[in-house]
Structure 1
Amino acid sequence: MRILIKSSRQVNAMRRSCRLVAWILQKLAERVEPGLSTREIDRYAAELIRRVGAQSAFLGYRGFPGHICISVNEEVVHGIGGDRRIQYGDLVKLDVGIVKEGWVGDTATTVVVGVTDPESARLVEVTREALAAGIEQAWPGKQVGDISSAIEKVVTQHGFSVVREFVGHGVGRHLHEEPQIPNFGKPGTGPRLRPGMTLAIEPMVNAGLPGVEVLRDGWTVVTLDRRRSAHFEHTVLVTEEGPEILTVLAEPDLVGKQGAGN
């Protein structure tokens, strides 16, 4: 498949979708607390998505049964809302994708519930730093491998490991577009970046070994060694002036115009 370059009009449409999904993610992160089930979080996500007049980009995608992905501790990505209850000290990964007026916004964060152990706290901060390092490479003329290498360098120098089976990706009209963006690789390799490319950059970082497996539900990805994992994601636009993070919080009036309230 070819890499799609978005026009100014298309980018503006994506900005609206991405700002709304960022607002939804913030509201969900604020709701996470001990005792809450992951199913209750998913239901709240569904309510927020309806409130802004959008649709879940995940629900029904290849049969996925949830409105968002909720992954706790050793769960890396693609967790399904269910009976698992949040505990103090947990790492809760929230991955949200919406479709608004035909355009996808995709973003994720890791919520630390209360105070966690030192290794988990460091894992979260390193993953956040790795995302920032990857985004810094999203300039015209750079290559996908420059993003991948920057992420991997931050992770490995802190003694953690990147998940290799699941990667970032292009995003736009579809949830997954070209190019694929691994969280490991060599600089100066892969497709060259051009203005108008929109990329979902998303490091998935394990405290222990990089290996993962999929549980019997066919979706939930967990670490093989059952140590904890962290995940952050932004949708990023490549521009002549450098990377623009599209999944920033919506202005209050924008959210209000979409019927979301405060």
Structure 2
Amino acid sequence: MMELKTPAEIAKMRTTGIFIAELLEELTGMAEVGMNAMELEHRARKMIADRGAVSCYWDYAPSFGSGPFRNVTCISINDACLHGLPPDHVFADGDLLTVDIAVSIDGWVADAARSVSVGTPRPEDTRLIRATREALDAAIDHMRPGTRLGTVSAAIGAVAKQYGYPVNTQFGGHGLGRTMHEDPHVPNAGKARKGMLLQTGTTLALEPWFCATTDKIVFDPDGWTLRSADGSRAAHSEHTVAITEDGPFVLTAPK
């Protein structure tokens, strides 16, 4: 069952969201050719500890993973699309990097992700990243009282269709607040004007992610990292968004 948040609770989630924005800006900004991806993980650990925040990933053990997750970031590179176990990987020019982070501050969670190119961007990667960001913007625009959840999902799917990208609906957005994953599941495609009615106080993590040429995914041997089944590249954009009486409030936007 979805818990509606009060304005005071949304304000607390906004505090967490601002910190998430700072984390993503720092980590994606420092990524450079020749750097090991684990440097991003260790930088995130320090920032989280210094802030007194709590990682939602550390010791996370869902049914689809392989044992507890002992890192504070999901780092997905190139054809890795979700839940990337931070790898011992030295960035090459043109790598496509996604950083996904969720933390809790004073008991309130926010979650966001960003994809960027490391070094020289490949045009096809730039297009893929742009599609996820446009899909996220389209979904956010529908986060208003009285909207049906299917309309939010349909907005994401429509952008994917416009760009010609297939959509996987197994993993998508979700409710959040006191914990990282709450009801409802938010697929990245759906039927407009269908599904549950969204109300003031709804808080969702919206996260369109697309693989360039497939909607099929496979697990890495590490039991966590999900990759495109055909090796095509993937991108992912995510924000935590609250529905207020005035419309959508992006809690993970920069301050």
Question: How far is the alpha carbon of 1:172 from its aligned partner?
Answer: 0.3
Structure 1 unaligned residues grouped into runs of 5+? 251-262
Q: Which residue of 1 aligns with 2:125?
A: 120
Mapped pair 1:45 → 2:50:
no
Q: CA deviation at 1:220?
A: 0.2
Partner of 1:190: 195
Structure 1 position 133, deviation (Å): 0.5
The match for 2:179 is 174
Partners of 2:170 and 2:36 in 1: CA distance: 28
Structure 1 Cα separation of the partners of residues 120 and 33 of structure 2: 12
CA distance in 2, matches of 1:129, 1:138: 15
Question: What is the CA-CA distance between 1:64 and the residue it aligns to?
Answer: 1.1
Structure 2 unpaired stretches of 5+: 62-67
Bigger mean CA offset, 5-14 vs 222-231:
5-14
2:75–2:87 contact (8 Å) kept in structure 1: no
| Correspondence for 1:14 | 13
Amino acid at match of 1:30: G
SS in 2 for 1:149: helix
Question: How far did 1:114 drift?
Answer: 2.3
Aligned-partner Cα distance in 1 for 2:5–2:169: 28
> How far is the alpha carbon of 1:80 from its aligned partner?
1.1
CA separation in 2, counterparts of 1:157 and 1:82?
33
In 2, the alpha carbon distance for the partners of 1:111 and 1:69 equals 14
User: Does the aligned pair in 2 maintain the 1:209–1:224 contact within 8 Å?
Assistant: yes
What is the aligned residue count? 249
* Mapped partners of 1:9, 1:153: distance in 2: 34
**1:60 matched to which residue of 2?**
59
- Over the aligned positions, Cα root-mean-square deviation in angstroms equals 0.9
Q: Which of residues 84, 103, 110 is equivalent to 2:108?
A: 103
SS in 1 for 2:22: helix
- Pick from 196, 206, 211: which aligns with 1:201? 206
Amino acid at match of 2:233: R
Letter in 1 for 2:92: Q
Identity rate, percent: 39
Match of 1:85 among 90, 96, 99: 90
Q: Match for residue 259 of structure 1?
A: none
Which residue is 1:159 aligned to?
164
Aligned AA (1:189): K
Q: Is the 8 A contact 1:40 1:81 kept in 2?
A: no
Runs of 4+ in 1 over 6 A off after TM superposition: none
Q: Work out the CA distance in 1 between the residues paired with 2:120 and 2:35.
A: 17
SS at match of 1:108: strand
